[in-house]
Every structure is written in structure tokens, then in C-alpha cells.
A and B are shown apart, each in its own frame.
Chain A
Amino acid sequence: MSEVITGYYQTQPSIAFSGEGAEKTAIVQCKSIYYKQVNETVRAAIEEGAHRIVLQGINGQRYIGDGIVAKDVTIIVEGVAGQDLAMFMGGATVEVLANAQDGVGNTMDSGEVYIHGHAGDVIGYGMRGGAVYIRDDVGYRVGIHMKEFKSHKPLIVAGGCARDFFGEYMAGGELILLGLDSQGQRSDQPLVGNYIGTGMHGGVIYLRGEIQPFQCGKEVGIFAAEEKDLASIKKHLEKYVELFATDFGSDPAELLEELLSSKWTKLSPTSSRPYGNLYAPL
């Protein structure tokens, strides 16, 4: 896998279709192709009725799935996905068989994203709906200003650890952090950094483990998760182990059992109007 990338070329990638109807698959050769042409080809493949689009040879191309509105379409990314994966996306499913860079699910509307590896900073910024599952660690500023409205309720599950500003300004949805290492064992790294939930005024954060109050913003209430809380996130954990347990070589049921039997912390905002009393109107 140590092939040299000499640059990104603004040429159309080659695309091959196979199968019919719901099975229709497009295989796109993306090695050294500029993101614009890659994304044009993804859109064209959807127009052509492909339900499965395999992007081979991806190496950091940006904006994969950006603004794509499609149902019953799965985009498989073979290689490291570049910045802003699935930004503004509506409805599709994106599965990355490697790491992803920053901005996964930025302002995402709906659909699902699965990352078989780490993801970078600012995951799910302003996310409005859909779900992002990341197998391993995430960086800084994850889940900032996620918001929910009626049936739109965003979810991020990160399997590893997270850095500072987790869930800052959070206004809705669910953020779940599991603290596993890349072998699927309890990580020995710090679970999460500081400034968790600063300015939080909606939504809920679940952390597998314990944190210190000084790590959180003052708008956050810290609770030990109860049985009903765990029951409410069980389906998300099931999905996580279904997606990733085999990557670890673990048994899904055992991993789920381990996750569910852990001690969890629940964070929720103390007010939906944290700045309601800040002002003296003139």
C-alpha cells in the first residue's frame, strides 16, 4: 500500500456498473483523481440508479457525499476519507474502510456514516440528524452545536477517546463515547478532555467511565447513568458492535455485554436557556 500519489488530476475517474435494480453497483477508480470529479461521478452514479457506490483508491479526497440527497444509496470509501465527509448530506449511507479526516458529518441532515478507524476534529458540527459511528478515537470539538428538531435527532457514537470541547454548545441529539482502544479493550488514554458541554443547552452526552466536574462547562449537569438511560442507548451500542466488533476480532454479544455492564456518566444541560439572565435590556 505504499504507492506514491503524484498529485490529484482533474480528470473523470473510470466507473464500472454491475448488477440491476437494488443490487446496482458502481465501482469508481479514484486514485489520484481530484475531489470535484470524484463527487461528480458519485452524483452521476446515483442518477444512473446505483445503490452501492464503491470508491476505490481514495486518499484524502474532500467532500465525499457532500450535499448528496439520496435514499437507499451506500457509498463505500476504500481509503482515508478527506475533510468534510458527508457534509450537508441527506439520507445516504457512507462507510469508510479506514480513517477519516476532520469535519465528518458537518451540518449533516440525515443518513448514516460508519468509520472503520479514527476520525479527526469537528465531527458533526451543527449536525441536525442522522448518525455517525466511529470505531476509534476522535479529535477536538466533536459534536459542537448538534441540534435536534422533531424527528431529526443526530447521533454520534465514538468508540475510542475524545479531546477537548466535546459537545460544546450542544443543543440536541446524542453523543456517546465508549473509551475503547484500537483492540476493542478499555483504553488507557484519558477518556475525554476538558470543556465538555460548555454552553450546552440541549441533548445528552453519555460517557463510558467517569469524569471530574472541572472537565465540564458550568452549564452541564453530571449524573451517573441509570438503567433506563442505558436502555435508551442500547440500540446504538448494538449497532456499534454489529459494525465494528469483528474489526477487533471480538464477539459482538460479549462486547455489547461489556459495554452495557460498565459504569456510565450522563451529561445533560441544566437549562435550555443558559444565557437567559445574562442581559439587562436597555
Chain B
Amino acid sequence: MKDYTQPEFHVDIDYSKCHKCGRCVGQCGWGVYKFNERPIPDDSKCRACHRCVTFCPAHCITIKKSELAYRENANWEPQTRKNIWRQAATGGVLLTSMGASRPQQSIFDHLVLDACQVTNPSIDPLREPMELRTYLGNAEKGPAIKIETPLTFAPMSYGAVSLNVHKSMAMAASRLGILMNTGEGGLHADLYPYQDNVIVQVASGRFGVDPEYLNRGAAIEIKVGQGAKPGIGGHLPGEKINQEVSVTRMIPQGTDAISPAPHHDIYSIEDLRQLIYSLKEASGYKPVGVKIACVNNVGAIASGVVRAGADYVYLDGFRGGTGAAPAVIRDNVGIPLEIAIAVVDQRLRDEGIRQQASIIAAGSIRSSADLAKAIALGADSCAIGSAALIALGCHLCQGCHTGCCSWGLTTQKPELTRRLDPEEGAQRLVNLVNAWSHELQEILGALGVNAIESLRGSRERLRAVDLDEQTCKILGVKPAGM
């Protein structure tokens, strides 16, 4: 059937500067270019990932937004119309990737941090020691997991991302004294040397889960939900299940890896407790965390999770990334992370169980500012997925579900995955986390405290700008000026 949609981008090549070297042809994972004496682009395939732009030696490529005019209609935006044409032609569920992209207000952007002036001195982190070390787990039973800075890498499965991405994260985590997280796709043998810095995940599909896997991780995480797709399962398409992925997931090559929406052995908090303790029994009582998506009654849910015996609750907000999710779910289901952190922290305090478990917050932590604000709202630590991928080259083209990532990150095609050198990738991640850690120390110094512990749950050090009264109340944050 004829596709009524028109290309979103225009690949503009300045042929007067072009070397005719053909590098762009090879660089593009989506096969935009043909070469006939000079590169000829097919605009309809371009995703604006800027791989070609980055590697073009002549700097002669510009990716432009298509200038095609649509009759203005604020209600029927061009994207809405295009989606309808696509679905009318295919009958399919619209599939996309990365985090929600609609222009919903970011609460982080409406929160500002305090600083010392006159009445109490600020601290210079360049001269004074500044403690970022964080312990996760049940404080009553003694800290379970130590991380050198309150940041971990978010779960991204091998299969959704390449092995080189996993290696980069594992090496970086071990150098930084933090943790990476396998996601639900098993643990590749190449990561065994870094296993003390790895959280192994157990999701509804139970891919790659065997006794050895449970024993290798520093901690085990039960994945109940994901911010990008709360309440639904996942389908890793058969095209991404190559030989290596198949070995790690322990499923045949080429079949879809289907994660059912629920764990069929968890239908209640009691069942969750049963799974937490079965994992503890099987692993010699390792810490077990539970990852949930932020949804309406997240406070009550998190309370149940903690009472079920989880050592940490991982809150994934509605902007959290994904390797593939139906757009309708990604863009319309779930609540903001900021709200969830505040209500969960408050609920656990009110119930007197806050010390029994840590809170890891994730779902679009974009900067050290977001990290500091999340901690001030009540999180113990944050996790980064999208930011880690961006550090590795991702340009947020939202094409991960196609398996053609030009940057070699969310693909299993060997000609693409080899573009990421794990050594260099690890260094980029180490640099990013070190930079954020330094910034976090600057923030702490400005606040006049010398340990991240002092900022934790300290909402008094936040103020809201342009947030309504009700939201401020839920966040437990005063408006600026008060």
C-alpha cells in the first residue's frame, strides 16, 4: 500500500565540498546512501542520527528538518496525522524507542537548589574532602552494596544493546566502583571478570537465569516494571537474537524473546516476597532489589515492595528509555519520576520503614543537577541509561527498535557493533560519571555540606519555581521565596 507519509528529514550534501569518498555510505546504518559517482541520499530512510555528519571528512552533510508545510492545526499535529496514515497502511501497533518525547513539563527543571550565603559558610570541594560514597540496602541489617558515587548504570539487556556496550559499562563500573545492570538478557561470559560490579536482573522471561547467573552478581534485581512501558512485557525481535545473544539468553537463534507482561509467579505482594526469598535462598542471601515503573499508587506499591523484603526499590519514571515499546504506552502511561521519588520517600518514612530499603531513581536523569535534585527529593542513588548511551555516541534518533543503530549501540550487526571500542567506551563513561561526581561535590559545597548523606531527602534545600501549589505539596517542596 502506498505510504502517505513524507520524509521527516532532508539530507543536504554540498557536492562542491564533497570528497566523493563514500564514507557516508558505509557509516549510515539505515542504508540512506547509494553511491553513483557521488553519494545519493534517500531522505525517507534518514533518522537524523548524525553518524554520517560526524564522520564526513569534508563536513559537507547537513541533516535538515523537512520543510514540507502542513496546514497549521494545533490539534492535528503533523505527527498525529502521519501516525494515522502509518497505521491505516499497516494495521500495526506503533513501535518506538528511547524515552517519552512529548513536551511534558519537566519538574526537575522547575526545582532549584539552595546555597550558603553569609550566615553559614559554603565548603570548597577542591580543598575539603567531600563524601559521595553511598550504601544501598537494608540499613538495619547492615549496608549491602557500596558504590563510590550515587550513580549506577541502568538495566539495558544484551540483545537490546550490543556486547560492546555491556563491556563498556562493566569496565567503567568496575573502575568507578559503581554498578552496571545486565537487564533481562543474561550475563555474557566476557563480563565475568567484572561480576562484582554487576547487578543481575530477573525478569518475567527469565532469560539467561540459572544458578550460576544468580551467584555471579553483586546483587539481584527483580524487574517488575519499566518506566517506558509500565504494565506491558517486551518482545525482542528474532532479528536481534543472533548466535551470541542466543547463548547468553539461553534461547534458540531467531525466535522472538518474549517477556510476558507479569511474572506469572507474582500476582501479589506475598508472591513477590516469595520470589525475593527464593532468590536469596538460591544465592546465599545476596541483596535483592525490585524495579518498578512509576504509576498512580507508587507509594503504596513501594511500601509493599519494601515489606516484601526488597533491599532497594528502583523507581523508573515515565521518561525512562527503552529498546522498543509501543509509542502509545511510552508516551501516555506512568507518572513523573520526581513525584514518585517524593511520595515513595515520604510514604516509607511515614510508615517507619525507610531504613529497610534504598531508593534508586531513574528515568531520564540528564545531568548532575537532576541527580542532586533526585537525591534531595529522597532518592539514595540514581541510575542512568539514556545518558550512558548518549555518552557512547547515541544521538537519540529513536531508532533502537530497528536494530540498525548507526552508532553500533542498539544493534547486533557485527559491522555496526564493532564501531564501539569497549576500552574507549568505558573511558567515556568513566569521564561522564567523574564529571557529574565533581559537579555533585560542587553542589554539596555550595550547600555547605560535605557528604551526599546530608542532602538525601533534604527537600528543605529545594525550592519550586512555577509549580502549582498542589504539586509543591506532593513534592514536599516550598515555592521559591518561602
Contact A84/B278 with A107-B209, A126-B209, A280-B90 known, Cβ cut-off 8 Å: yes
Interface: B398 (CB within 8 A): yes
- The proximity string for A residues 192-223 relative to B, scoring 1 for CB distances below 8 Å and 0 otherwise, is 00000001011000000000000000000000
Q: How far is the CA of A31 from the CA of B175 in the complex (A)?
A: 49
Among B251, B265, B274, contact of A172 (Cβ-Cβ < 8 Å): B251
- Chain B interface secondary structure, helix, strand, loop or mixed? mixed
Interface: A13 (CB within 8 A): no
Tell me whether B281 and A67 are in contact (CB under 8 A). yes
Q: Which chain A residues (251-279) contact chain B, with CB distance < 8 Å?
A: 272-279
| Chain A min CB distance to B333 (Å) | 17
Q: Report chain A residues within 8 Å CB of B139.
A: none
Q: How far is the CA of A168 from the CA of B89 in the complex (A)?
A: 31
Q: Which chain B residues (266-291) contact chain A, with CB distance < 8 Å?
A: 274, 277-278, 281-283
Interface: A138 (CB within 8 A): no
Q: How far is the CA of A11 from the CA of B90 in the complex (A)?
A: 63
Tell me the nearest residue of chain A to B87, going by C-beta: A280
Interface: A45 (CB within 8 A): no
Tell me the nearest residue of chain A to B285, going by C-beta: A36
Tell me whether B95 and A62 are in contact (CB under 8 A). no
Tell me whether A66 and B278 are in contact (CB under 8 A). yes
| Chain A min CB distance to B205 (Å) | 7
Interface: A69 (CB within 8 A): yes
Q: Report chain B residues within 8 Å CB of A275.
A: 235, 256, 258
User: Which one, A47-55, A143-151, A183-191, is touching chain B?
Assistant: A143-151
Q: Report chain B residues within 8 Å CB of A202.
A: 252, 255
Q: Which chain B residues (108-143) contact chain A, with CB distance < 8 Å?
A: none
Among A62, A103, A128, A199, contact of B258 (Cβ-Cβ < 8 Å): A199
- The proximity string for A residues 71-84 relative to B, scoring 1 for CB distances below 8 Å and 0 otherwise, is 00000000000011
Tell me the nearest residue of chain B to A126, going by C-beta: B206
Tell me whether B256 and A279 are in contact (CB under 8 A). no
Most chain A beta carbons < 10 A, residue from B209, B237, B255: B255
Among B95, B254, B264, B281, contact of A280 (Cβ-Cβ < 8 Å): B95
| Chain B min CB distance to A133 (Å) | 20
| Chain B min CB distance to A34 (Å) | 11
Most chain A beta carbons < 10 A, residue from B255, B258, B265: B265
Tell me whether A276 and B238 are in contact (CB under 8 A). yes
Tell me whether A141 and B93 are in contact (CB under 8 A). no
Among A122, A152, A272, contact of B256 (Cβ-Cβ < 8 Å): A272
- The proximity string for B residues 200-217 relative to A, scoring 1 for CB distances below 8 Å and 0 otherwise, is 001011100111101000
Tell me whether B252 and A280 are in contact (CB under 8 A). no
Tell me whether A149 and B246 are in contact (CB under 8 A). yes
Q: Report chain A residues within 8 Å CB of B211.
A: 67-69, 88-90, 109
Contact A274/B281 with A107-B206, A126-B209, A282-B96 known, Cβ cut-off 8 Å: no
Tell me whether B260 and A169 are in contact (CB under 8 A). yes
Tell me whether B92 and A278 are in contact (CB under 8 A). yes
Contact A87/B250 with A109-B211, A276-B237, A277-B92 known, Cβ cut-off 8 Å: no
Q: How far is the CA of A133 from the CA of B423 in the complex (A)?
A: 49
Tell me whether A88 and B256 are in contact (CB under 8 A). no
Tell me whether B277 and A279 are in contact (CB under 8 A). no
Tell me whether A145 and B205 are in contact (CB under 8 A). yes
Interface: A41 (CB within 8 A): no
Q: Which chain A residues (107-149) contact chain B, with CB distance < 8 Å?
A: 107, 109, 122, 125-126, 128, 141, 144-145, 147-149
Q: Which chain B residues (122-178) contact chain A, with CB distance < 8 Å?
A: none
- The proximity string for B residues 82-100 relative to A, scoring 1 for CB distances below 8 Å and 0 otherwise, is 0100110111111110000
Tell me the nearest residue of chain A to B403, going by C-beta: A281
Q: Report chain A residues within 8 Å CB of B401.
A: 281
Interface: A94 (CB within 8 A): no
Interface: B402 (CB within 8 A): yes
Q: How far is the CA of A125 from the CA of B264 in the complex (A)?
A: 7
Interface: B327 (CB within 8 A): yes
Q: Report chain B residues within 8 Å CB of A88.
A: 209-211, 214, 278, 282
Contact A147/B250 with A107-B206, A280-B92 known, Cβ cut-off 8 Å: yes
| Chain B min CB distance to A275 (Å) | 5
Among A39, A145, A152, contact of B264 (Cβ-Cβ < 8 Å): A145
Interface: A106 (CB within 8 A): yes
Most chain A beta carbons < 10 A, residue from B83, B202, B256, B282: B282
Interface: A244 (CB within 8 A): no
Tell me whether A125 and B281 are in contact (CB under 8 A). no
Contact A62/B264 with A107-B206, A282-B95 known, Cβ cut-off 8 Å: no
Q: Report chain A residues within 8 Å CB of B327.
A: 282
Contact A274/B278 with A145-B206, A282-B398 known, Cβ cut-off 8 Å: no
| Chain B min CB distance to A269 (Å) | 10
Q: How far is the CA of A171 from the CA of B246 in the complex (A)?
A: 13
| Chain A min CB distance to B248 (Å) | 10
Q: How far is the CA of A122 from the CA of B212 in the complex (A)?
A: 23
Q: How far is the CA of A39 from the CA of B278 in the complex (A)?
A: 11
Tell me whether A276 and B256 are in contact (CB under 8 A). yes
Q: How far is the CA of A109 from the CA of B277 in the complex (A)?
A: 18
| Chain B min CB distance to A272 (Å) | 4
Q: How far is the CA of A248 from the CA of B151 in the complex (A)?
A: 60
Q: Report chain A residues within 8 Å CB of B278.
A: 62-63, 66-67, 84, 87-88, 103, 106
Q: Could you show 6 A-B contacts with beta carbons less than 8 Å apart?
A: A145-B204, A169-B260, A201-B256, A275-B258, A277-B92, A280-B87
**B contacts, CB < 8 Å to A:** 83, 86-87, 89-96, 202, 204-206, 209-212, 214, 235, 237-238, 246, 250-252, 254-256, 258, 260, 264-265, 274, 277-278, 281-283, 326-327, 398, 401-402
Other than the given A172-B251, A278-B235, 20 more pairs (CB < 8 A) read: A35-B281, A62-B277, A62-B278, A67-B211, A67-B281, A69-B212, A84-B274, A106-B278, A109-B210, A125-B206, A126-B205, A141-B264, A145-B205, A149-B252, A202-B252, A272-B254, A272-B256, A276-B256, A280-B87, A281-B401
